[in-house]
Structure 1
Amino acid sequence: MSAIKGFSVPNFDFGTIFDIQRKNIEAFTAASQTFSQGLQTVAKRQSEIARQQMEQFQSLLTTAAPTAKVEDNLVKQADLVKAAYEKNVSNARELQDILTKVTTEASDILSRRVVASLDEIKSVAQKPKTVERTAKAA
């Protein structure tokens, strides 16, 4: 028992460690909520785009009636295809922008928390308290 006498062990502030982990979980939850809300926004916008495309297609069927001249038909079809293509590219860019914003916001939440967490752990580790253990006399 005399070998144990005078042995010191670090006494970490486990309350602070648990608090750090709680903050980590809160940050992860906030990032998940941000990402989930962003995906809901994308899904809603995709639904709106699909509805608009169906309306445009129905309009196209009524306005794209063939004419007697082949050249006129080709010009009209080329204009319609060009407009549809440009709209699709615009929609794709809009969705990409939404997703970029959402992933940036979510990753920023996590990044800030990782940095803060490491600073907090460093602070706890730099101030260890030692408790001297003494053996009871037998």
Structure 2
Amino acid sequence: MVSRICKKTAFVLALLSTALAASAARADEEFPFGFEMTLDAARMPGSKRIPSLDIGDNGEVVLELWCKGGKGQFSVAGNTIIFVPGAMETRNCPPERAQADDDLLAALADVATWRRQGDSITLTGSKTLRFRLNTN
């Protein structure tokens, strides 16, 4: 009798751990709606900023780039992604930072696929952009 209870308990625990592992794996595969992520890049000389995207639950995005800021929209279906930039606020900044912002916006607009591995998000198009989720 005790042996049978132990076997059933072990089976239930194994089933629960499998379900939890599958749930965690699915969470790692989902697009990070509702999160902020930061570009995996070094700071530009003379600036403390690193571009970040604050992604809302419906794909709306608030962008803070090296110099400019604005809004946009992500649409995601499976591993396919489309980014549509909105109006950007031009701020007083050196030409090299403004150009870097324009280049980053163009690369985001050209993104076609995405992949998530833990807290790392990779957006792929003409350029590969890597972001880190801000999870703290």
Instruction: Tell me if both proteins adopt one fold, taking TM over 0.5 as the criterion.
Output: no
In terms of fraction of residues, the more helix-rich structure is 1
In terms of fraction of residues, the more strand-rich structure is 2
The higher-RCO structure (CA 8 Å, 6+ apart) is 1
